[in-house]
């Protein structure tokens, strides 16, 4: 029931977090909550929350005037009426039919001169038919081009042009007279087509519009409102409109999906952090800070030569802190989600998303391995350079030609990377303290060999101190070979055996006299003393406020390994054959190593102690012993929870062997040379 309630609380907090982020994103879209009166002074400076094009009454008036002038220049469209020619052909055919039947009335011939009448009546049947055909053909040719109105002169000229090769002048005149009598206009205004052409040409005229860029000043505080200001605020839905609940719901859904995406990412790729509430709270706090800063930059008035200040959004600072406090892959996913949210806040600005996304990727990659302040400064410079390149690309994509724009925004972009590195370094200690997380920078404070615990170890247990230094060297090299945290591994090795200071004489490396206190103790008592040093070390670490991760190393560096020396003695003294239950009694309390770094320290500690105990070490002896210890730890399942793969173990083994070869090779050569000198001296003495 408790787990269920805790899970419900987590869901409720996640929803509340999404609501808060959604509210911040939606804030620039909210309409003004006060009345605006024309002629009254503005009580605050107002900027456009988005890019918009809209028409003011003046724009509409100018557009209508331009379209009216253009409409006057559009001529009507004429179309040919095919029925006109059919009617004319029928009239011509009726006229010639009456001529052939000799039933022509005087009124039908009134348009002809007396000469034309005589010539017409003298034509034979065949010639009359030919004349009819010529008239119809001529009319067809003339009407084909279309006639708006009758012009006798033009018709006569056209008839003569068509027939001058076929007929004499008198016959052409007769054809012309008949054509003039029957031809009618066949062109009419096509209202539908004329309307379509007119609308097409008028629509091609771009209307006059007023444009506001995102962040552009609409009115400054103290200026008086005009009709233009009121129209602009209404177009932007900043005045005279209600809150758009649908818009807010859309933003909330996106935020919720991003929260869910982040949770699934931790579940599949960062299982240990998925169970830690601090990972979620830290990421949320950082995102919330960035969103608030982005909102603040959004509300700042335009600066000279700079449209907006969105290139100053300190997202790299959040990514650097996440890389150092959590992991780079978590930094990538949170930075990408934050980029999307900021882009939505800035009215779905794709170019801001582009800038912030590249900034996120560059920061995560450049801060993948940061161990000292100079690394952080170098990362800030790299981030700034990439920011400048992205800003140049955005300028080209948006057709910006002003060199001043490129200069000022490039300076801002480079300062963003440089300042974010400084800001993150300044904020890091506060976040480490607040969320109880230890970073490489925090560990470096304990890396100094002058640390009180290490100085005390050197004085009280000098053998253990030298052993710890050797383990640190081995562990550091092994960690570097498999890509583990080098600094964490080295510092963990420094402190892993500090518990031996409580009873230093009971550990072989500190026994410089001939007496061994274990000789007077039972195997079980000796085991209890030996296996207690991890717990004693944690108590000392807590007293000196060492980070929790170092305390974990102290407890885990032996895991549940067998205290084999005293187990073998107890087994010889035990009459019962139940050796398995006895073996469990002679194990360290654990737990087993839970990280790669802790697993490396376990292996380095066991191998260094074993090789130190070899009498006259040789390279074959060292190699066999390393192989034996690795097999023992693997078969005893001590590394099961460490995350070390077989490839990692092989790399660690090769690194250890290489280091011991370099340490003992020169020593072995020296002993051989010394032996040769001794033999040569003996030989000379014998000859003497």
pLDDT band of residue 588 (cuts 50, 70, 90) is: very high
Query: In this model, does residue 687 exceed pLDDT 70?
Result: no
pLDDT tens profile 638-652: 999 998 999 999 999
What is the DSSP secondary-structure string of 458-513?
Answer: HHH-HHHHHHHHHHHHHHHHHHHHHT--HHHHHHHHHHTTGGGGGSGGGSGGG--S
Give the three-state DSSP class for 442. helix
Mean pLDDT, range 403-424, rounded to an integer: 92
Distance between CA atoms of residues 20 and 299, nearest Å? 18
pLDDT tens profile 481-494: 998 989 899 999 99
Q: Is the CB of residue 150 less than 8 Å from the CB of residue 186?
A: no
Q: Is the CB of residue 321 less than 8 Å from the CB of residue 284?
A: no
Q: Which residue stretches of 544-618 are H helix?
A: 548-556, 564-573, 579-585, 596-612
**What pLDDT was estimated at residue 688?**
47
Q: Kindly state the helix (H) or strand (E) to which residue 278 belongs, with its residue range.
A: helix 277-299
Which domains occur in the chain, in start order?
A: 2-24+243-437 (1.10.1760), 59-77+190-208 (no CATH), 81-183 (no CATH), 461-683 (1.10.3210)
**What pLDDT was estimated at residue 271?**
83
Please report, for residues 153, 264, 331, 574, the alpha-carbon distance to residue 357 in angstroms, rounded to integers and kept in the order given: 79, 20, 12, 68
β-strand partners of 188: 79
pLDDT tens profile 127-156: 888 888 888 888 888 888 788 788 888 888
**What pLDDT was estimated at residue 180?**
83
Q: Which residue has the higher pLDDT, 79 or 412?
A: 412
pLDDT band of residue 233 (cuts 50, 70, 90) is: confident
**What pLDDT was estimated at residue 305?**
59
Q: Which DSSP state fits 218? A: E
What percentage of the chain exceeds 90 in pLDDT?
Answer: 37
Handedness of CA 361, 366, 372, 373 (dihedral sign): negative
Lowest mean pLDDT across 419-428, 636-645, 657-666: 657-666
pLDDT band of residue 1 (cuts 50, 70, 90) is: very low
Mean pLDDT, range 532-547, rounded to an integer: 92
pLDDT band of residue 3 (cuts 50, 70, 90) is: very low
Query: In this model, does residue 24 exceed pLDDT 80?
Result: yes
Report CA dihedral (444, 445, 449, 450) to the nearest 10 degrees.
160
Place of tokens 């039919």: 97
Highest mean pLDDT among 5-14, 51-60, 102-111: 51-60
**What pLDDT was estimated at residue 554?**
95
**What pLDDT was estimated at residue 60?**
87
Query: In this model, does residue 258 exceed pLDDT 90?
Result: yes
Tell me the CB-side half-sphere exposure of residue 29, using CA atoms within 13 A: 20
**What pLDDT was estimated at residue 55?**
84
What is the DSSP secondary-structure string of 73-134?
Answer: TPPPPEEE-HHHHHHHHHHHHHHHHHHHTT---GGGGTTS-HHHHHHHHT--HHHHHHHHHH
Mean pLDDT, range 362-377, rounded to an integer: 85
Give the three-state DSSP class for 53. strand
Lowest mean pLDDT across 119-128, 174-183, 521-530, 617-626: 119-128
Quick one: tokens of 6? Answer: 């805790």
Q: Taking every pair of C-alpha atoms in the chain, what is the biggest distance, in angstroms?
A: 176
Place of tokens 């022509």: 104
Neighbours of 554 (CB within 10 A): 26
pLDDT tens profile 310-342: 899 999 999 999 999 999 999 999 999 999 999
pLDDT band of residue 262 (cuts 50, 70, 90) is: very high
């Amino acid at each position: 029931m408790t787990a269920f309630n805790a899970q419900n609380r987590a869901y409720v907090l996640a929803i509340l977090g999404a609501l808060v982020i959604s509210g911040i994103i939606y804030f620039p879209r909210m309409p003004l909550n006060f009345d605006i009166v024309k002629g009254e002074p503005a009580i605050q400076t107002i900027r456009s929350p988005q890019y918009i094009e809209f028409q003011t009454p003046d724009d509409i008036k100018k557009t209508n005037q331009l379209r009216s002038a253009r409409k006057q220049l559009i001529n009507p469209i004429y179309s040919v009426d095919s029925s006109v020619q059919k009617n004319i052909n029928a009239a011509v055919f009726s006229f010639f039919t009456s001529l052939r039947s000799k039933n022509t009335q005087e009124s039908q011939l009134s348009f002809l001169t007396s000469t034309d009448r005589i010539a017409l009546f003298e034509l034979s049947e065949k010639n009359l038919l030919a004349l009819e055909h010529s008239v119809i053909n001529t009319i067809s040719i003339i009407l084909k081009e279309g006639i708006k109105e009758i012009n006798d002169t033009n018709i006569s000229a056209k008839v003569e042009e068509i027939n001058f090769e076929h007929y004499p002048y008198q016959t052409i005149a007769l054809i012309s007279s008949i054509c003039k009598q029957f031809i009618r206009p066949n062109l009419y205004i096509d209202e539908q087509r004329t309307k379509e052409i007119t609308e097409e040409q008028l629509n091609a005229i771009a209307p006059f519009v007023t444009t506001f860029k995102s962040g552009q000043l609409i009115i400054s505080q103290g200026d008086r409102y005009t009709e233009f200001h009121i129209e602009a605020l209404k177009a932007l839905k900043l005045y005279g409109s209600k809150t758009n609940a649908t818009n807010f719901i859309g933003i909330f859904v996106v935020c919720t999906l991003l929260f869910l995406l982040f949770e699934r990412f931790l579940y599949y790729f960062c299982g240990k952090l998925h169970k830690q509430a601090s990972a979620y709270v830290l990421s949320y706090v950082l995102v919330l800070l960035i969103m608030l800063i982005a909102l603040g930059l959004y509300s700042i008035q335009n600066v000279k030569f700079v449209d907006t200040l969105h290139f100053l959004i300190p997202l790299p600072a959040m990514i650097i802190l996440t890389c150092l406090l959590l992991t780079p892959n978590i930094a990538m996913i949170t930075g990408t989600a934050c980029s999307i949210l900021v882009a939505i806040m800035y009215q779905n600005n794709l170019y801001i998303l582009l800038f912030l996304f590249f900034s996120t990727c560059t920061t995560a990659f450049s801060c993948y391995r940061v161990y000292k302040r100079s690394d952080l400064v170098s990362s800030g410079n790299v981030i700034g350079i990439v920011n400048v390149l992205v800003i140049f690309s955005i300028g080209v994509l948006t057709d910006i030609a002003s060199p001043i724009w490129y200069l000022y925004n490039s300076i801002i972009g480079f300062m963003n990377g440089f300042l974010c590195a400084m800001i993150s370094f300044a904020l890091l200690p506060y976040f480490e303290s607040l969320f109880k997380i230890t970073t490489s920078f925090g560990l470096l404070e304990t890396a100094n060999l002058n640390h009180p615990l290490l100085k005390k170890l050197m004085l009280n247990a000098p053998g253990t101190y030298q052993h710890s230094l050797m383990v640190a060297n081995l562990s550091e090299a092994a960690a570097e070979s498999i890509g583990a945290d080098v600094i964490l591994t080295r510092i963990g090795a420094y402190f892993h055996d500090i518990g031996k200071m409580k009873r230093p004489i009971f550990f072989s490396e500190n026994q410089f006299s001939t007496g061994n206190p274990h000789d007077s103790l039972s195997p079980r008592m000796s085991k209890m003393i030996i296996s207690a040093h991890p717990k004693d070390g944690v108590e000392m670490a807590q007293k000196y406020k060492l980070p929790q991760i170092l305390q974990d190393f102290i407890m885990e560096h032996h895991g549940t390994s067998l205290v084999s020396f005293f187990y073998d003695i107890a087994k010889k003294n035990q009459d019962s054959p139940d050796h398995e239950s006895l073996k469990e009694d002679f194990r360290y309390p654990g737990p087993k190593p839970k990280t790669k770094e802790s697993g490396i320290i376990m292996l380095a500690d066991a191998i260094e102690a074993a090789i130190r105990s070899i009498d006259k070490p040789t390279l074959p002896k060292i190699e066999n012993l390393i192989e034996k210890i690795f097999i023992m730890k693997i078969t005893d399942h001590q590394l099961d929870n460490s995350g070390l793969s077989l490839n990692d173990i092989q790399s660690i083994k090769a690194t250890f062997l290489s280091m011991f070869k370099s340490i003992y090779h020169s020593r072995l050569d020296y002993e051989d040379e010394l032996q040769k000198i001794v033999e040569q001296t003996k030989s000379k003495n014998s000859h003497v």
